[in-house]
Amino acid sequence: MAEQARPSEALGLELELGAIELALGSAPRVLYEDVHVYPLSAPAFESAPGLDRAPLPEGPLKLYVHVPFCNYACTFCFYAKRVGVSRARKERYVDALIRELAWVAPGTPLEQLYVGGGTPTALPADLLDRALEAILSRLPRAGRASLTVECSPESLTAEHVRVLGRHGIDRVSMGIESLDDRVLATIGRRHGEREAALDALSLLIESGFFVNADLIYGLPGQSEGGFCADLEAVAARGPHSFTLYNLRLNEFTPLADAVRETEGLDLARLMRWRAIVKQACAGLGYAQTRWHTFVRPVARDSSYHRAPCVDGFGAGRQLGIGTSATSHVGNAVYRNDATLEGYLGRIESGASPVTGVFPLEAADRRTLFVARSLGDGGCLGRAAYRAAFGAALEDDFGQTLARLAGAGLVEDRAGAIALSEPGKLVYDLVLLAFYPERSRRWLAARQDAARRSGRRLAAD
């Protein structure tokens, strides 16, 4: 390993990379979603066209709305999206969303709204207005519920900003990813001039929203210094928070086909990037609140309140509407048709939009429990685990815990398991160790195929 790739210097930690790799295996070449979003991180959905979702439990609901339109297709992006869609089609899509929403009883309290994509602001402002009006008139906002809408710099207009303000949207998240023209060209992202992107961010901040900016590190052709310079330039405009993702390669994206095995984020590079990103954020006054999230302390009070999407560990009450959206209802996760035509056809003919299901078995529910505690920045409490499953943590995960503790990745703290400082740098790989055998086998088969393709590229 090259001297400059050592993560220990960046964090001031003594790291035994060999022992960590032995305990965790090597870093996966492809990742689907972040690992704490189980089972979307191992999306082995069973085909179930037209399956009806289980009835929603009573009480407040967490709603995700997918808007699958973009002005360009970034080569790293695995979300369901379409470029170059006509206004007429977008109108049909908003009609279909409103029709799908009829599945929720009117008056159901809205605990959290997240409108993502794709790019919600790739909808003309009047159509976004119609969609938000339909949602918020059917589902009254409960208490401190947060309402978030994603956007991209080039698609946001002053009219969008007025629409978001009129509906009481309190958090807007803008994807910027990079300000470096060469990196942007590599990833096929055309969000305009550097200053224009920064000005779009400033417009949101000046309009009074809680503003988050997304950047990605580990992109091809990106240097550590270049990333930190981008971060500094964006921070100078004063966003309240950053979401800083490491590049995840998904095997179905053009970028996965172009990144050679030797260019991927191996364990050492991943840990070093994470250590550097954390340090750079601290230097700019942003504290890490979740794995990818860094918040200005002054912004914390008004910070986005994340509602739990499950009651306890199992009975989900999260509904996703739109193409590819997933719903966690009861003990199953349902996925809607991921194609625009398929989704429109199903909704317009009065059929269920669902095409896939992931029933959550006992082993999946245990993994979910770990994902929502240890995997989401918290501690894995022994008493809470026993209360949920009637078994001791050691009974279910004894060998895994011993292996992780042996490599210095987890620590015992007053009746709970917590990640150590090195463990935090590989939180996702630690969490994979708690996945059910079935999911690990499914992921391993995909990794093998993806690695073969990376090696083939390297040999070309």
Are residues 272 and 7 in contact, defined by beta-carbon separation less than 8 angstroms? yes
152, 212, 253, 400: residue in contact with ligand SF4 (rule CB under 6 A): 152
CB closer to ligand SAM, 281 vs 401? 281
Helix (H, G, I), strand (E, B) or coil at 182: helix
Question: Pattern 162-201, binding to ligand SF4, x per CB under 6 A?
Answer: -------------x--------------------------
Minimum distance from CB of 459 to ligand SF4 (Å)? 30
Minimum distance from CB of 70 to ligand SF4 (Å)? 3
Minimum distance from CB of 248 to ligand SAM (Å)? 4
81, 90, 248, 335: residue in contact with ligand SF4 (rule CB under 6 A): 81
Residues 118-137 that bind ligand SAM (CB under 6 A): 118-119
Q: Are strands 354-359 and 46-47 parallel, antiparallel or unpaired?
A: antiparallel
Query: Can you read off the two tokens belonging to residue 338?
Result: 């991921």
Total residues at the site for ligand SF4 (CB under 6 A)? 11
100, 129, 150, 396: residue in contact with ligand SAM (rule CB under 6 A): 150
Asked if the peptide bond before residue 39 counts as cis, ω within 30 degrees of 0, the response is: yes
| Contact partner, 247, from ligand SF4, ligand SAM, none, Cβ < 5-8 Å per class | ligand SAM
| Contact partner, 237, from ligand SAM, ligand SF4, none, Cβ < 5-8 Å per class | none
9, 25, 226, 245: residue in contact with ligand SAM (rule CB under 6 A): 245
Applying CB under 6 A, the span of 49-57, 112-120, 377-385, 395-403 interacting with ligand SAM comes to: 112-120
| Contact partner, 73, from ligand SF4, ligand SAM, none, Cβ < 5-8 Å per class | ligand SF4
Residues 20-79 that bind ligand SF4 (CB under 6 A): 70, 73-74, 77, 79
Total residues at the site for ligand SAM (CB under 6 A)? 19
Please state, in angstroms and rounded to a whole number, the distance separating the CA atoms of residues 319 and 109.
13
100, 111, 214, 428: residue in contact with ligand SAM (rule CB under 6 A): 214
Residues 356-395 that bind ligand SF4 (CB under 6 A): none
Please state, in angstroms and rounded to a whole number, the distance separating the CA atoms of residues 275 and 9.
9
Please state, in angstroms and rounded to a whole number, the distance separating the CA atoms of residues 23 and 364.
22
Q: What is the DSSP string of 340-366?
A: HHHHHHHHHTT---EEEEEE--HHHHH
Nearest to residue 343, comparing CAs of 356, 330, 361? 356
Are residues 121 and 85 in contact, defined by beta-carbon separation less than 8 angstroms? no
Asked if the peptide bond before residue 25 counts as cis, ω within 30 degrees of 0, the response is: no
Q: Are strands 287-288 and 241-246 parallel, antiparallel or unpaired?
A: unpaired
Are residues 133 and 125 in contact, defined by beta-carbon separation less than 8 angstroms? no
Residue number, nearest CB to ligand SF4: 77
Question: Pattern 96-125, binding to ligand SF4, x per CB under 6 A?
Answer: ---------------------xxx------
Question: Pattern 35-74, binding to ligand SAM, x per CB under 6 A?
Answer: -----------------------------------x----
Are residues 366 and 393 in contact, defined by beta-carbon separation less than 8 angstroms? no
CB closer to ligand SF4, 326 vs 439? 326
- Crossing angle, helix 158-166 and helix 194-206, to 10 degrees? 30
Binding status of residue 114 toward ligand SAM by CB under 6 A:
no
Applying CB under 6 A, the span of 45-53, 114-122, 342-350, 360-368 interacting with ligand SAM comes to: 114-122
Residues 75-104 that bind ligand SAM (CB under 6 A): 76-79
Please state, in angstroms and rounded to a whole number, the distance separating the CA atoms of residues 8 and 15.
6
Q: What is the DSSP string of 267-299?
A: HHHHHHHHHHHHHHHHHTT-EESSSSEEE-GGG
- Tokens 């698609």 identify what position? 155
Minimum distance from CB of 18 to ligand SF4 (Å)? 36
| Contact partner, 423, from ligand SF4, ligand SAM, none, Cβ < 5-8 Å per class | none
Are residues 353 and 346 in contact, defined by beta-carbon separation less than 8 angstroms? yes
Print burial letters for 370-398: b (CB count within 10 Å at least 16), e (below 16). bbbbbbbbebbbbebbeeebeeebeebbe
28, 116, 353, 454: residue in contact with ligand SAM (rule CB under 6 A): 116
Question: Pattern 121-150, binding to ligand SF4, x per CB under 6 A?
Answer: ------------------------------
Nearest to residue 346, comparing CAs of 93, 117, 133? 93
Residue ranges with strand state E in 15-76: 46-47, 61-67, 69-70
177, 230, 337, 396: residue in contact with ligand SAM (rule CB under 6 A): 177
- Tokens 């066209």 identify what position? 49
Binding status of residue 216 toward ligand SAM by CB under 6 A:
yes
Where along the sequence are the contacts to ligand SAM (CB under 6 A)?
70, 76-79, 116-119, 150, 152, 175, 177, 214, 216, 245, 247-248, 250
Where along the sequence are the contacts to ligand SF4 (CB under 6 A)?
70, 73-74, 77, 79, 81, 117-119, 152, 175
